[in-house]
Every structure is written in C-alpha cells, then in structure tokens.
C-alpha cells in the first residue's frame, strides 16, 4: 500500500498527523501534510484508510496495490470505506453528477 | 404542550432557537427539525440543515457545491454590510474566502497551528491552568462560591491567546470584554441595536490591532502577529493591513467564547455524571474520549455563522435548495442525530475511546469543529486546553459542586454561559 497527500487540496488541519504521527507529518513553513514513509506496513493499512476517510478535505489518497496506480486502486473489487469516501467526494466535485441526496 | 405541537407551525427556526425554551434546552426542537423539517426554509429565505448526513455532506462540499459570497454580493447576503464594520470585517475573514485565496491565507497562519507547535504550547497551557486553579483555591476552601466561568473557563483561552498574539494580559482582558457583543451582532437575526453594539466593540478591536501591528513591525517577537506582519511586509500584495486585522479579529472571535463554553460544559458533565469521571483519572486516551464527548453533546457554535451559497439547484431529501440560496448547518443538531450517534442524548465518552480525534467508534464525525476546507484552525489548540484542564480540575477539587444554577447567555447562536458558580462540598457531607 502507498499513500499520497494532495498538497494543493490539503487544508492543514493536521488531523492525519494526530491519527498516525509516524506516517504523516506537517511541513514546518505552512502546515501542509506530507507522507513520511515510502510504503505503509501491513499493520497500519486499516489505520491509513481511516485517516484518509477522516481527512476533512479528502486530500489523502490510498493506493492499495504496491505496484500502485490509480486504475488498480479504482478497480479494487471491494473498495475500502476510505475509497468509497474519496469517490463520493469526487462525485460532488462533478457538477450535475451527485444531487446531494444522501 | 409537546414539542411537536409547539413547533408544528415553525416559520423560522432561527427565531425559535432564540426563544427562552430553546435557550434553556434547544435539543427537543432540534429533534423535531431533524424529524419533520430537516431542510428548513426560514422566513428570511435562509436554509437550515439539521441531519448529520446532510450537514456532513454540505461541509465537505464547501468550495464545490457551495461557495462563500463574492465581494460584490455582500449587500445581498448581508443587507446591513454597507454600514456595519463587523459585517465588513467578517467578510474579510478566512471563513468567507474560497480557494485559492482561502488556501493561500490559511497557510500563512497554519504554521503556528501545526500539531507540533500546539504540542510545544502544552507546558505553558499547563502552567496557566495550575495558576488559575491555585487562584481559585483559597476562596473555595473557605467555603465560598466562585464563578468558574469567569475565573477559569474564560480566563484560560484569553491568557493562551495573549501568549500566541504577543499581547499584555490586561490588553487581552480589555479586548475580550467586547467579544460577546460582536458575536451576537453577527447572528443573522441580530437587531439593529445589537449590530450597533457589535460595531462599537469591533471598532475598539480594530483600533487596538492597528496599533499592535505597528508595534510588531518595529519590534518583532516570536508571536503570530509579528509573523503575519513579516509575511505582509515581504509581499505587500499578499496580505493588506485590513485583511490582517480581519484575520486577527476572526481568530479572537472563533477562539474564546467557544473554548470557554466547552470548558464550562465539561465541568457540568463532570458534576452531572460522576460515574463518568474515571475517564479523567487514567491515561490520555480516556481524557481525549471525555473531551470529544463533551464537544459532541454541546456544540458551542450551534449553527454556522457564514453563508454557504448553493452554486446550483441542489435536491436534498426531496427539497430543492435553489441556486444562490444561503445555506446554514445546525451543527448541534447533527451531533445529536441518532442516525449518526446511537442514543445521542446519553453522555458516553466510550463512543470516542481509542479513536482518531473527532471520529466515533462507528466512524462518524463529531461536527463541532466543522469539516471541509473551513475545519476549525484552532481545533487542536482547544483540545489541548481541555485535556490539560479537566484532569487537573478533577484532581485539585474532587468535591466540586454547583453553588447555584449556571446562567446561560440568551443566544440562539452560541451555547455559552454568563456565570457558572461552584463551591466545594463540605468535608464529610
């Protein structure tokens, strides 16, 4: 598993750092979140998905395959809650797509 | 008369929230709203969302499906903005900005609110907490009543802000006296005299910050104001003096009354549910769970003070929110929604034991700090103040009790207090 933070989206709330301080950190000059590990150890997979689903601005992307690319992630037959969250967020950005009914 | 009868003809939820019954206990009315009118359209045209799922969605969609008002639209959403200093200052705060301006301005101040920076403040917060409790002890030990709201809950965030802003304590106490008036003036249903009182207080804050900015420019220190002045002077286009004053004004407004109210609510929870005090006597995980549950049960800011403007017609629960409608979210109601939090009126810190901050064991988000791009900048600062306070209050004054009924501020917008009189139980009683 790999995890990336979209630094343009990051809202600097630091919630991911509180959830997983060893995996995420904040840049000193502006508080933007960064991933401080190359790959996520198996034991932390669930916690990383949780951090992604909790990010207030959905800036954390989890790439499940180690070979990792977006297609692999979206083609996952059983998307994690974090991914479902991310796709929902994407839909909301698509005008006319999601009507907001929940 | 039951709640349903009383409110079946509710034309304006904002007016109802200001009623004496709701000031006393707003939650029965919020339950009615969630069940009967979850996408409420007030007489003024404002839309109010009260279900957790709808609020959560709207907060996440801010910047996409919803936007802040453009500068040219201020008069449309705030008809009195032309003559009101407070509304003009509000319009320049971070909370009213959209990306990319919002992103740029927020990052300027984010460096002082990183988790590491807030952690660095822990020792000084702990010192302030201990000193304030020491200050209350003699009177309490003589058997006298002490106003915990004024002496502790309000004093702590003020002193922490004085440190962050690099301000003398007396200056901060002077400024803080006007904060309540400003907050009330910003409520959508504020009367003209309330708005005038807010503007008078805002003028004092603005003049003070104008002077403070000048002092920090000639004599910079390690504080937020000096840092922002530096960022401003490096690039004059980045942050005008007016924007800088608005940002400081916004931090002052967002940080005080809300933190104080949550400390008050936490102490009331300790007194009301002694069987839950064990959470404050163990490790940090238990303290965190108690703090999150206090924040969930009593959101200090009951609804959003800034407009979220629909970018298009949005259908929500069978109701069409028209394009350009001003949508507000009733955060305090979302936190009590049984679809998100089982048995929501029960105070139960176990919901947040061992979880990520702000997330329940069921994966639901506690809404008091908001969500999305405007997520509270000071969330962690508030959490640390609470976490450093509550176990110390518990340890120092284990026999703390109410001396009299707490007095609430009669506000529809903020669930805050005017006084919280406490005393110690007599030994052996």
pLDDT tens-digit series, residues B65-115: 999 888 778 788 888 888 899 988 988 888 888 888 888 888 888 888 999
Whether the Cβ atoms of residue B353 and residue B286 lie closer than 8 Å to each other: yes
Residues of B in contact with A32 (CB under 8 A): 107, 110
Closest residue, chain A, to B311 (C-alpha): A95
Superfamily designation of domain B3-424: Cytochrome P450 (1.10.630.10)
Is 60 exceeded by the pLDDT of residue A73?
no
Residues of B in contact with A11 (CB under 8 A): 106, 372-373, 375
Instruction: Tell me which of A26-35, B237-246, B392-401 is least confident.
Output: B237-246
pLDDT category at A70 given cuts 50, 70, 90 is very low
Q: Do A92 and B64 touch (CB under 8 A)?
A: yes
- Report the CATH number of the A2-93 domain: 3.30.70.20
Closest residue, chain B, to A16 (C-alpha): B356
HSE of A39 in the Cβ direction (CA atoms, 13 Å)? 9
Q: Write down the pLDDT at residue A90.
A: 40
Q: What average pLDDT score do residues B358-369 get?
A: 96
A32 to chain B, any CB pair closer than 8 A? The answer is yes
B47-49 vs B326-329, strand pairing mode: parallel
CA distance B72 to B255: 28
pLDDT category at A96 given cuts 50, 70, 90 is very low
Q: Write down the pLDDT at residue A93.
A: 38
Q: Write down the pLDDT at residue B240.
A: 75
Instruction: Tell me which of A9-13, B23-27, B111-115, B207-211 is least confident.
Output: B111-115
Interface test mutation site (partner A, options B52, B103, B325, max chain A beta carbons within 10 A): B103
Is 60 exceeded by the pLDDT of residue B290?
yes
Tokens found for residue B313: 């017609």
Report the mean per-residue pLDDT for chain B: 91
Burial class (CB in 10 A: 0-12, 13-18, 19+), B348: middle
Q: What average pLDDT score do residues B362-381 get?
A: 95
| Closest alpha carbon to A31 in B125, B116, B250 | B116
Q: What average pLDDT score do residues B394-420 get?
A: 94
Of residues A93, A96, A102, nearest to B53 (C-beta): A102
pLDDT over 90, % of chain A? 53
Q: In sequence order, which residues have a C-beta less than 8 Å from that of residue A94 and are 6 or more positions away?
A: none
| Closest alpha carbon to B379 in B296, B255, B279 | B255
Q: Do A14 and B312 touch (CB under 8 A)?
A: no
Is 50 exceeded by the pLDDT of residue A2?
yes
Whether the Cβ atoms of residue B349 and residue B286 lie closer than 8 Å to each other: yes
Of residues A13, A81, A93, nearest to B64 (C-beta): A93
pLDDT tens-digit series, residues B27-61: 999 999 999 999 999 988 999 999 999 999 999 99
User: Would you kindly state where each structural domain of chain B is located, as residue ranges?
Assistant: 3-424
| Closest alpha carbon to B289 in B351, B340, B336 | B351
HSE of B205 in the Cβ direction (CA atoms, 13 Å)? 31
Q: Write down the pLDDT at residue B1.
A: 44
Query: pLDDT: is B276 or B176 the higher one?
Result: B276
Q: What average pLDDT score do residues B392-416 get?
A: 94
pLDDT category at A83 given cuts 50, 70, 90 is very low
Tokens found for residue B81: 């903005």
Q: What average pLDDT score do residues A32-51 get?
A: 93
Interface test mutation site (partner A, options B98, B107, B238, B284, max chain A beta carbons within 10 A): B107
Q: Write down the pLDDT at residue A14.
A: 93
Residues of A in contact with B53 (CB under 8 A): 102
CA distance B132 to B167: 19
Is 50 exceeded by the pLDDT of residue A87?
no
CA distance B254 to B113: 14
pLDDT category at B190 given cuts 50, 70, 90 is confident
Q: Write down the pLDDT at residue A100.
A: 38
Of residues A31, A54, A58, nearest to B110 (C-beta): A31
Q: Write down the pLDDT at residue B91.
A: 85
A26 to chain B, any CB pair closer than 8 A? The answer is yes
Q: Do B106 and A14 touch (CB under 8 A)?
A: no
DSSP of A33-97, one letter per residue? Answer: EEE--SS--GGGHHHHHHHHHH-TT--EEEE-SSS--HHHHHH-SS--HHHHHHHHHHHHHSTTT
Q: Write down the pLDDT at residue B93.
A: 87
pLDDT tens-digit series, residues B125-136: 999 999 999 999
Q: What average pLDDT score do residues B214-223 get?
A: 92
H or E segment to which residue B146 belongs: strand B146-147
Q: Do A11 and B372 touch (CB under 8 A)?
A: yes
Q: What average pLDDT score do residues B282-305 get?
A: 96
Q: Do B115 and A28 touch (CB under 8 A)?
A: no
CA distance B178 to B330: 25
Q: Write down the pLDDT at residue A98.
A: 37
Chain B positions contacting chain A at CB under 8 Å are 53-54, 57, 59-61, 64-65, 103, 106-108, 110-111, 113-116, 311-312, 314-317, 321, 356-359, 363, 365, 370-373, 375-377, 379-380
Q: Do B311 and A58 touch (CB under 8 A)?
A: no
Q: What is the per-residue burial (b if ≥16 Cβ within 10 Å, else e) of A1-39?
A: bbbebeeebbbbbbbbbbbbeebbbbbeebbbbebeeee
Helix (H, G, I), strand (E, B), or coil: what is residue B321? strand
Q: Do A14 and B373 touch (CB under 8 A)?
A: no
Interface test mutation site (partner B, options A7, A11, A19, max chain B beta carbons within 10 A): A11
Is 60 exceeded by the pLDDT of residue B367?
yes
Helix (H, G, I), strand (E, B), or coil: what is residue B14? helix
Q: What average pLDDT score do residues B378-383 get?
A: 96
Of residues B60, B115, B357, nearest to A92 (C-beta): B60
The model's pTM? 0.88
pLDDT category at A69 given cuts 50, 70, 90 is very low
Q: Write down the pLDDT at residue A67.
A: 55
């Amino acid at each position: 598993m790999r995890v990336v933070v979209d630094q343009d989206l990051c809202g600097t709330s630091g919630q991911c750092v509180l959830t997983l301080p060893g995996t995420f950190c904040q840049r000193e000059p502006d508080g933007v979140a960064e991933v401080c590990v190359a790959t996520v150890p198996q034991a932390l997979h669930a916690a990383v998905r949780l951090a992604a689903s909790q990010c207030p601005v959905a800036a954390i992307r989890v790439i499940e395959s180690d070979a990792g690319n977006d297609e692999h992630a979206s083609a996952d037959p059983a998307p994690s809650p974090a991914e479902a969250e991310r796709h929902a967020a994407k839909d909301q950005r698509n005008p006319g797509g999601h009507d907001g009914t929940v | 008369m039951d709640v349903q009868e009383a409110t079946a003809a509710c034309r304006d939820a904002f007016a109802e929230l200001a009623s004496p019954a709701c000031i006393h206990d707003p939650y029965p009315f919020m339950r009615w709203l969630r069940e009967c009118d979850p996408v409420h359209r007030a007489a003024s045209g404002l839309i109010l969302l009260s279900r957790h799922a709808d609020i959560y969605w709207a907060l996440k969609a801010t910047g996409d499906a919803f936007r802040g008002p453009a500068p040219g639209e201020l008069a449309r959403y705030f008809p009195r903005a032309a003559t009101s200093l407070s509304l003009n200052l509000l319009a320049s705060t971070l909370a009213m900005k959209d990306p990319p301006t919002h992103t740029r301005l927020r990052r300027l101040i984010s460096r002082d609110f990183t988790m590491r920076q807030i952690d660095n403040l822990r020792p000084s917060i702990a010192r302030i907490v201990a000193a304030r409790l020491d200050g209350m002890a003699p009177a309490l030990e003589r058997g006298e009543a002490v106003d915990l709201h004024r002496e502790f809950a309000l004093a702590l965030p003020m002193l922490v802000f004085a440190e962050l802003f690099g301000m003398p304590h007396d200056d901060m106490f002077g400024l803080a006296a006007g904060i309540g008036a400003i907050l009330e003036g910003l409520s959508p249903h504020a009367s003209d005299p309330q708005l005038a009182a807010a503007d008078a207080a805002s003028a004092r804050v603005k003049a003070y910050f104008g002077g403070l900015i000048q002092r920090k420019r000639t004599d910079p220190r390690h504080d937020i104001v000096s840092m922002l002045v530096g960022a401003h002077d490096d690039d004059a286009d980045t942050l005008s003096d007016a924007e800088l004053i608005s940002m400081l004004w916004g931090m002052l407004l967002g940080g005080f009354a809300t933190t104080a109210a949550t400390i008050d609510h936490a102490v009331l929870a300790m007194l009301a549910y002694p069987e839950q005090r064990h959470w404050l006597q163990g490790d940090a995980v238990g303290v965190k769970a108690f703090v999150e549950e206090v924040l969930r049960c009593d959101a200090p800011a009951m609804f959003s003070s800034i407009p979220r403007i629909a970018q298009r017609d949005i259908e929500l629960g069978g109701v069409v929110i028209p394009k350009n409608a001003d949508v507000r979210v009733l955060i305090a109601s979302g936190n009590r929604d049984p679809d998100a939090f089982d048995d929501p009126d029960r105070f139960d810190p176990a919901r947040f034991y061992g979880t990520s901050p702000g997330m329940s064991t069921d994966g639901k988000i506690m809404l008091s700090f908001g969500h999305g791009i405007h997520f509270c900048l000071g969330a962690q600062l508030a959490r640390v103040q609470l976490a450093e306070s509550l176990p110390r209050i518990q340890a120092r004054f284990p026999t703390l009790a109410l001396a009299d009924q707490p007095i609430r501020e009669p506000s529809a917008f903020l669930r805050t207090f005017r006084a919280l009189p406490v005393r110690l139980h007599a030994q052996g009683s």
